[in-house]
Structure 1
Amino acid sequence: MDIDTTKPHVGRVYDYVLGGHHNYEVDRNAAAAIMKLVPTYPKWAKLNRWFIQLVGQQWAEAGITSVLDLASGLPTQGHLNDYLPEARILFSDIDPVSVIYGEQILADRPNMRYLQADLRDPSPLLAAAAQFFGADRRIALGCIGIIYMMDDERSRDLLRRMHAFCAPGSVLALSFIVPRGASAAQQLNGAAALAGVKVYPRTPEEMAALIKPWKVHDCRPLVDWLGLEDFLTQEEYELNPFEMLGLIAHH
């Protein structure tokens, strides 16, 4: 796999702010520049990872046995593989660094696989998932930390195709960004551009419409899901151009 270390990658930037080591100087420089514009970025990254952990706990308690995780990042300590060690889990990411290290981390887990996939064209991923899961299509779909970096058309197409792939009884976990103020999108994208991406903030109503035919079961701020209402100070909250929400939907 070709790894471009001359440009930052949002997944590696995310890894760095979480305290990881699978990143390069270009990613660390981008993270520093982003934090000048959005100083709370590391806190939101942590909330996103903690939401994954909460979802993993809930799925373990529900007896989930099949998981398809989109834009997984690194399945290091505290990812779904820790909470669902017996489940069949197909991880995926577009970043070759995540895939290479992910394969190494999961080398002794025959019930888990890591696949390089571009969610803008989910056909190869769905073909691999059909082979991986076989006839068992009652799946828990992880979509945490990615939809806010995809436009409406591609997000809608991805989630509809995933719904068509999954059987009734499947569940979707998703996080998304809600703008706070008229200039939120502009401020967010000024920071996101430093990692080479564009961000698409959406209201809960827009998100519910976008994910159809998935049906929203529960949707609230990540700090509410995690019981961390005081995680951001009042000053940090007021200066922050966005809020991050977690959503659980059913097939």
Structure 2
Amino acid sequence: MARAGIWTFPPSTERSADEAAEYLTRLRQLLRWIGVSEAEMEKGHLRCDANVSIRPIGSTELNPKMEIKNVNSIEHVRHAINAEVKRQIKEVEAGRKITSWTLDWDEDTQTLSKMRSKETEADYRYFREPDLLPVRLDAEEKDKVLAQLPELPLKRQARFEKEYELPTYNAEILTSERALSDYFEATVKFYRGEAKQVSNWIMNDVLGILNERGLSAPELQLTPERLAKVIILVDNKVINTSTGRQPLRKFAPKLLRKTPLRWSNTKMERKWSWAGSLVR
């Protein structure tokens, strides 16, 4: 736990900036999925301090690390790490020694600047916090906690690919948010047809509405049942695809609510509601 009671995670990787970005993407997804945080990096809910060091191929010893502080975007993390790796390689190849510094990343200029020399453990003056006692969980307690977790995103993505025969890309998009994946499954149950058809409507039309307005799935008020009815009407050739899309666009303002729908604190299930009639 860092200053001001904010939790920090110290994961490490010895691969690439892309892997670091993927890790942050999955971490943010998981935090949102289980309701721990909205994890909006730009709003300060989640930040990244990236420590970068290099070593020659075949060597087991890393050069001194440089810490890039308080990066507030996953893409910025990717850019900053790549820039620092290139800089360190250039320094070593020129015969210069790497000295530890804390760095600041400027996304606008794509440059790194020195903030201060890197502190060592002695500089931090680490000592045990007397008011924080150790927490030890036995196997039974751990199993009890794990049993309360919902189906997590990667597991649900794999299930969507197998159970609904969705392409990996579709399954990944539909499980990017828990509310969106729940919405998809609920629509499939009402539709009772090929899940890929529901996937196409959600990805091409429903997400289009949300993206146009910079909103997320919890703010959607078009119920799964109503969407399923639209798809069925198109399938039965009562209306064509273009006509089926018109009410989604026409009633778009009515399909969204200012206050996002929330998870139930007791049953962990979605509470879908409807503000107007789309299909009668």
TM-score for both structures, normalised by structure 1: 0.23
Larger Rg: 2
More strand by share: 1
TM-score for both structures, normalised by structure 2: 0.21
Higher RCO structure (Cα 8 Å, ≥6 apart) = 1
